[in-house]
Structure 1
Amino acid sequence: MSEYQYYEFQAVDRPLSEREMGELRACSSRATITATRFVNHYEWGSFKGNPSVWMEKYFDAFLYLANWGTHELMIRLPRKVLDLKTAKRYCCGRAASARAQGDFVILELSSEEEGGDWEDGNGWLSSLISLRADLAAGDHRALYLAWLLCVQNRELDDDATEPPVPAGLGELTAPLQAFADFLRIDGDLVTVAADQSPKVNGTSFELDVERWIATLPEATKTDWLVRLAGGKEPHLRAEMLRRFRESQAPRESRSGGAQRTVGEILTAAEECAEKRHREETVRIAAERARREREAAEQRERYLDNLAKREARAWEEVDGLIATKQPGRYDEAVKLLCDLRDLALRRGRGSEAEARLLRLREEQARKPSFIERLRKAGLA
């Protein structure tokens, strides 16, 4: 079986120059290269660049997918919107790590799953890229999910405590859910983590931001307006929201519970999985019982209608058999089964058996039909 490897890079804050695009083209003659994107996939060859170096020099996000089960994601952010200390507090293992390069912090995340699948990588990074702006704005839910990935991979000591739990883990956005799916983060771990996560109210959030802005010094607000009018700072809104969230952090931390250990979270996730499996078993059994009940009721209604035309149904059987066509034989046998069940329901099973016996004797020279009767339990 051939290999499949998918590479995609995206530039968000600054488009690539013609010179930079030329440098990328020197590494690949068939890749799709624009001022904001590099995309290529390989089935027999291999990527000739270095993703880590490219992230340092050119791009803000990178995604890699291979059909043997490897998923990788890198996100680059300016250090002024995500400091390295905060990033390392969450990305503290092999599956999720953080490093500084110049004025940037680069998050590196990976998931390995033996066997893999032939999954197209196209579209994945587009579904994840907005998380970069969320991180810049101080939304640390993606960072906490990255920490859960390290927990899931047993990369942390059981007595290690969790980092601050951000609000809104119980209401993952579509990009956050895609993030969890791409990195194969266990849903039960996320459910357990959400137990200590305050809820996010969109209306309340807007009102809180409005009230917070009203309390800011006039000099700060003037500075932001001047910088906004300049239009040269793509992360200005993110900087404002990050400062707002930092001002709310003490209140959010009081609303949550005590920090849990890795061992406690893993145990709780196992219990959550067991509960979910039990509930799923009950649900499946109830659904099966409902379908069986509906099928039985539908069968009874069908037999009620068949009773009204029983004599005509026996004539239909004779007509179907007379065609000597295999498909018609099948229809005849099905109708005979229905007539037998109708007779049994009425307590006239012996009468139906007598008619079937006569029918078998009359059609004894039709072995194909007789074999169908035998398989249906009518002979």
Structure 2
Amino acid sequence: MRTELATGDRRPLYLAWLSALTRWELEEDVDEDEYTSTLEPPVPAGLAHLTGPQQALADFLRVDPHLLTAAARASGAAPSQTIDKAALAAWIRALPQPEKDALLLDAALGTAPQPGPALLARHRAASRGTAEPSTAARRRSAAELLDAAHEVRSEHNRQQDQARAQARRAQQSARESHLDHLADNAEQAWQDVANLIGRSSAAPMTPLSPS
């Protein structure tokens, strides 16, 4: 998680904000105007496809999954993590020599975080030329997000109800088909029952062993 943040991935920070909003929604003494006036932070890209550590963080912080789904609607696709080694090498060569010397000195002395993730973040930002497109989108209020989460939750519940109703209809249909089959073959069914009873009666009883 630390490495993801160092490389410029802001999804963990947004998840922390969603966790706070999840808890805030449960409070009873919040003025509705507060929900309307509170705006979300810039939405990071890739919110719909979290990494393993980020999903673990969302679970740990108990982020409402429906709220996360609603928030992710304003999130763009996550930028590719593939590194163009040649482009990165050219970018590093273009850095001012004093800056490169300072980075190497800090790395050697351990007086600063490892420069790798931060350099990758700077390189990716320079390659894009601008900030992530999703950060420039209109920021939604907490009230809008909570309303959107309610819609997602309602749709999810509706789909579950439909799936359960479909399963019940399938079970009922299978039962009726079985009963129809028995009705059409009643004579054979009774004959099968008689044969089973006859075989059970003819089976020798196992004597009890002496105690």
Q: Same fold (TM over 0.5)?
A: yes
Deviations 1:68-113 (A, max 9, x none): xxxxxxxxxxxxxxxxxxxxxxxxxxxxxxxxxxxxxxxxxxxxxx
The correspondence of residues 209-228 of structure 1 with structure 2, limited to 5 A, is 211=87, 214-215=90-91, 218-220=94-96, 223=100, 227=104
d(CA) in 2 for partners of 1:252, 1:172:
16
Mark the runs of 5 or more structure 1 residues left unpaired by the alignment.
1-130, 326-379
Task: Report the equivalent of 1:257.
Answer: 137
% identity of equivalent residues: 30
d(CA) in 2 for partners of 1:305, 1:208:
72
Q: Do the aligned partners of 2:43 and 2:134 also contact (CA within 8 Å) in 1?
A: no
Task: Report the equivalent of 1:197.
Answer: 75
Change (3 A) 1:300 1:266: same
1:292 to partner: Cα distance: 3.7
The correspondence of residues 86-235 of structure 1 with structure 2, limited to 5 A, is 131-154=1-24, 157-158=34-35, 159-202=37-80, 205-206=81-82, 211=87, 214-215=90-91, 218-220=94-96, 223=100, 227=104, 230=108, 232=110, 235=114
The structure carrying a bigger helix percent of its residues is 2
Change (3 A) 1:316 1:143: same
Task: Report the equivalent of 2:155.
Answer: 275
Change (3 A) 1:254 1:312: closer
d(CA) in 2 for partners of 1:213, 1:263:
46
Q: Which amino acid aligns with 1:235?
A: Q
Change (3 A) 1:267 1:301: same
TM-score (norm: length of structure 2): 0.70
Q: Does 1:313 align with 2:189?
A: no
Larger-gyration structure (1/2): 1
Q: Do the aligned partners of 1:197 and 1:256 also contact (CA within 8 Å) in 2?
A: no
Q: Which amino acid aligns with 1:141?
A: R
d(CA) in 2 for partners of 1:278, 1:189:
17
Q: Which amino acid aligns with 1:144?
A: Y
> Could you tell which deviates more after superposition, 239-248 or 176-185?
239-248
Q: Do the aligned partners of 2:18 and 2:67 also contact (CA within 8 Å) in 1?
A: yes
Task: Report the equivalent of 2:116.
Answer: 237
Q: Do the aligned partners of 1:161 and 1:259 also contact (CA within 8 Å) in 2?
A: yes
Q: Which amino acid aligns with 2:150?
A: E
Deviations 1:163-217 (A, max 9, x none): 1111111001121111111111100111011111111253xx4257864664455
Change (3 A) 1:306 1:143: farther
1:320 to partner: Cα distance: 4.8
d(CA) in 1 for partners of 2:134, 2:16:
23
1:246 to partner: Cα distance: 4.3
Q: RMSD over aligned Cα, in angstroms?
A: 3.9
Q: Which amino acid aligns with 2:114?
A: H
Q: Do the aligned partners of 2:7 and 2:118 also contact (CA within 8 Å) in 1?
A: yes
Local SS of the residue matching 2:118: helix
Q: Do the aligned partners of 1:141 and 1:169 also contact (CA within 8 Å) in 2?
A: yes
The structure carrying a bigger strand percent of its residues is 1
Q: Do the aligned partners of 1:196 and 1:256 also contact (CA within 8 Å) in 2?
A: no
Change (3 A) 1:304 1:216: farther
Change (3 A) 1:307 1:171: farther
Local SS of the residue matching 1:134: helix
Mark the runs of 5 or more structure 2 residues left unpaired by the alignment.
206-211
Local SS of the residue matching 1:286: helix
d(CA) in 2 for partners of 1:283, 1:209:
49
Local SS of the residue matching 1:153: helix
Task: Report the equivalent of 2:209.
Answer: none
